[in-house]
Amino acid sequence: MNTVLRKRDQLSSDLTEFLGRKLVAGTFHAFVDKLHKSLPQPILRSTVQASVLDLLKKELTTRQLVETCWRLAGNLETLRDQEPARVWQRQTRFEWVPVQIMEARALKREGRFYNRFVFQSQAGSIVPRRMVQHWSTRKTRYLTSLRNASGYGFGFGKHRRNSRGEQMGRMLYLDVRQMYRLRCWLLLDPHRSGDEPVAFEIGHTGSTMSFNRELIRGRDRYESRCLKGYPTAPECHACIYGTDHCPLGTHRKTYTKGTCPMCKKEAYFDPLEEDNPELCLQCAFEVRDLL
């Protein structure tokens, strides 16, 4: 996955001169030429052009550039087979795609807890689309402990207790927020997919597990020191800092502090809260159950 992202960034950098320009006539062909030159060989220019026809006659934005370069970087084998990597319209085949979890949060509906996951595709025909799945807490815990025939999984440690009942395990799964930024593979089903891709099976490789283990180890206070240097720091999933201030964060934006109008207490607020942005973390969670 890291190779794809590096190639995406390299392609985007090579083509920044076209930002803000309308891709018509000679400008479009110059864009295709530069993109073709930046891609590894052997890939035909006609294949590259067919892959970016969606940009024709459009003024190129930063988002369009990054998404286009990501799509091509994530489908190099497809391009080498001289098959265009077009914008996803529908799923035509069973396909394993690498993904990274970009949101992991607990929700409650009618008194029952479940977890919401947002998966960011890293490569494959659907890149850079995202997929949403809802897992029960039981399913989540099961999948965090599951290993495939090769011994690969999300990378959490096993619970182990000694004769005195003391927990001896390390790098344990304790909270759904620990899933944030972990990587895996999802198998897309062409029969279940419609306007959106649908996955029905989860997979792991040595590469994804190694990435996850390093992240999990960094977040475990028994294994690693707090990057902020706090001697009594909590586990990362209980920390206010997001990945905007700490690379080990388990959410994207650092929580802010203020007085909640509902509970009247000094509390923390999630800047990315959409449903009830005026409420603190706890109250927003409780109110969501009433919707």
Helices (H) and strands (E) in the chain, counts: 8, 7
Residue 235: pLDDT band (50, 70, 90) is: confident
Backbone angles phi, psi at 104, to 5 degrees: -140, 110
pLDDT > 70? residue 146: yes
Give me the pLDDT at residue 228, please. 83
Please name the residues in contact with 144: beta carbons below 8 A apart, sequence gap of 6 or more: 153, 154, 156, 173, 179
pLDDT > 60? residue 290: no
- Give the Cα separation of 64 and 116 in Å (integer): 27
2/288: higher pLDDT: 2
46 membership: H or E segment, kind and range: helix 45-51
Tell me how far the alpha carbon of residue 66 is from its chain's centroid: 16
pLDDT > 80? residue 233: no
Angle at 98 between CA 9 and CA 152, to 5 degrees: 125
pLDDT > 90? residue 225: no
Amino acid at 5: L
Q: Average of pLDDT values for 16-44?
A: 95
159/204: higher pLDDT: 204
pLDDT tens figures, 247-265: 999 999 999 999 999 999 9
pLDDT > 60? residue 236: yes
Backbone angles phi, psi at 115, to 5 degrees: -120, 140
Q: Average of pLDDT values for 76-85?
A: 95
pLDDT tens figures, 109-132: 777 889 999 999 999 999 999 999
Domain range annotation of the chain: 2-80, 95-219, 236-288
Please name the residues in contact with 163: beta carbons below 8 A apart, sequence gap of 6 or more: none
Average pLDDT, the chain: 91
Give me the pLDDT at residue 291, please. 44
Give me the pLDDT at residue 253, please. 93
Give me the pLDDT at residue 165, please. 67
Give me the pLDDT at residue 232, please. 67
Which residues are registered as beta bridge partners of 134? 116
CB 120, CB 8: distance < 8 Å: no
Give me the pLDDT at residue 41, please. 84
Task: Please state the length of the chain.
Answer: 291
User: What Rg, from alpha-carbon coordinates, does the chain have?
Assistant: 22
**Residue 183 CB: number of other CB atoms within 10 A?**
24
Give me the pLDDT at residue 47, please. 97
Percent of the chain with pLDDT over 90: 77
Give me the pLDDT at residue 48, please. 97
Which of 2-6, 19-23, 27-31, 178-182 has the lowest average pLDDT?
Answer: 2-6
Pairing label, strands 183-188, 256-259? unpaired
pLDDT tens figures, 160-201: 777 776 666 788 999 999 999 999 999 999 999 999 999 999
pLDDT > 60? residue 205: yes
